[in-house]
Amino acid sequence: MTFSFLGILFPKSGFIALVFLHSVKSFKNLRHTILESFFIPFTFALMVRLVISLIIPIFFLLS
């Protein structure tokens, strides 16, 4: 089973397990764990979408 975020598929059970593992490992530093587990992968997914939707069409227009 997968879930999609910004058109990128993530395996649901594996992703939840990864988040859980992060939170168990550094329970004291929960704020950093939340940032590490959610914000960074989603920001990366957003950057990939921006590259695909904005930069690649520019190359096609210029060539």
CA distances from 37 to 9, 15, 59 (A): 16, 9, 33
19 vs 30, 32, 41, 61, CA distance in Å? 11, 12, 11, 41
- Domain boundaries of the chain, sorted by first residue: 2-62
pLDDT tens track of the chain, all 63 residues? Answer: 455 555 555 556 566 666 666 666 656 666 666 666 677 777 777 888 888 888 777 777 776
**pTM score, whole prediction:** 0.35
Quote the pLDDT of residue 1: 47
| DSSP state string for 12-62 | HHHHHHHHHHHHHHTSTTHHHHHIIIIIHHHHHHHHHHHIIIIIHHHHHHH
